[in-house]
Structures are given as C-alpha cells and as structure tokens.
Amino acid sequence: MKRLLSLAAFAAFFLAGSAQAQIFGNSAEVRQQITDLRQETQGQLETVKNAQFELSNQVEVMRTENARLRGQVEVLQNEIESLKNRQRDFYIDLDNRMRQLETQNSASTQADNVSSTSGNSYEAALGLLKEGRAAEALTRLEAYINDNPDSDNLPEAHFWAGTASLQTKNVSAANKYFNTVLTRWPKSAIAPDAMLGLANGQLAVNDRRNAQKTLQSLISRYPSSNAAKTAKQHLSSSSR
C-alpha cells in the first residue's frame, strides 16, 4: 500500500514538472511572437510616418510651384496689358501724324509738285502701316528714304521704317533705323519714340536687361517726353 502511494506521488510530481516545462516553453514562444509583432508594427508605423513626411514635402513643393506659376501668370498678364496699351498708343500716334501730314499737304502750293509727290509717297506708306500692311509700308518708306536724302521728314521716315520692321519681326533692321534716328537726329521730336522702339525691339528678343537700360536711358535723356512716361509705366509694371 505504501509502495503504491509512493508511486502515485512520484507520477504526480513527474506530470506536474512536465506540465510546468510545457507552460514555460509556450510562454517563451508567445513572448517571442509578441516581440516579433511589436517589431513588425513599429516598422509599419515608421513606414507610414516616412510616407506622410514625403507626402507633406510633395504638397509643399506643389504649393510653392503653384505660387510661382501664379506669379508668372500675373507678370504675363501685365506684359500683355502693357503691349495692348503700347499698340493702342502706336495707332493713336500714327493717326495724329497722318492728320498732320494731310494738313501740311493741303496747305502746300502748286509750285511744290515734286515735294508734294514725295510727301504723298510718305503719307501712302504711313497709310499702309496703319492698315497693318507693314511689309508694303516698309518698302515704300525705304524707297522714300533713298529718294529723298534731304527731306525734312527723314527722321520720322526712319522711325516708321523701324516700326514697320518691328511689325514684320525684323528686329535687326528695326534697331538699325531706330539707332540712325538717335545718332543723326538726337534732338528730333521723334528721338524719344525711336529709343522706345529700340527697347521694344530688345524686349521682342527677350533681352530684358538691355531693354531696361534703354528705358532708363530714355527717361534720363528725354524726361518730359510721352515716350518717357510710357517707359516709366513699363519699368513699374515689370518690377512688380
């Protein structure tokens, strides 16, 4: 009987030790699984944080780019408006000059037939320019300049030839005519307009630095001219 009790006690002790070892073994495995899960979760959180940071940077870059593009649009709108104003002023001035020519021609005498003929040729060239036929106007103006080297209208003829060249996108020829006015007739009433035309030609080829210098020089040399007022407006709009 005592022997049976001893065997039972031994068996119970053995089974208890085996169960305890199994429990401890399972606990270690569970702890490892929890540790692995924590590490995996931490890694996923880091990935999400990095993705959020990258997305935030991209959003900021897009905001900066949008602000830059809005600024460029505003500058282009200002330039377009300035071009419209200059174009309007150009045709108003051209119309005024044509009226002056018509008055002069109507007041000329019959004895000045040769001069009157050349004057009509000059007037016809301006008429073509006013109609937007710049290439034909330029041909007429060049012929007038060559045929009338002593004409009082020569400074204006060079200016309008430069303007017609700009209209036909021949900036090199335009600069030549405008510079001729500034070199030969710097005190002519048309000289400030020629300098403004020179700046317009520089702007046409995107030479903004020299265009600004020309406009500043125009304001300095001819401060009371209408061209200087236009130059100030353009410098003001381009600096915004």
Average pLDDT, integer, range 1-5? 52
Q: How confident is the model over 198-213, as a mean pLDDT?
A: 91
pLDDT at 2 over 80: no
Q: With pLDDT > 70 as the criterion, what percentage of the chain qualifies?
A: 67
Q: How many residues does the chain have?
A: 240
- List, for residues 76-128, the tens digit of each pLDDT value: 566 656 655 555 555 556 556 655 655 555 554 443 444 445 668 888 888 88
- In angstroms, the CA 83 to CA 204 distance is 11
Task: Tell me the per-residue pLDDT of 18-51, one tens digit each, with 9 for 90 and over.
Answer: 555 555 556 777 677 777 777 777 777 778 777 7
**Average pLDDT value for residue range 195-220:** 93
Give buried/exposed letters for 168-193 (b at 16+ CB in 10 A, else e).
eebbebbbebbbbbbeebeebebbbb
String of b and e for 209-239 (b: at least 16 CB within 10 Å)?
eebbebbeebbeebeebebbebbeebbeebe
Q: Is the pLDDT of residue 194 over 80?
A: yes
Confidence check: pLDDT of 205 > 60 = yes
Among 7-21, 116-130, 150-164, the range scoring the smallest mean pLDDT is 7-21
The predicted structure's pLDDT at residue 26: 63
> What average pLDDT does the segment 142-168 reach?
93
**Of the candidate ranges 59-68, 81-90, 231-240, the one whose mean pLDDT is the lowest:** 81-90
Confidence (pLDDT) at 112: 45
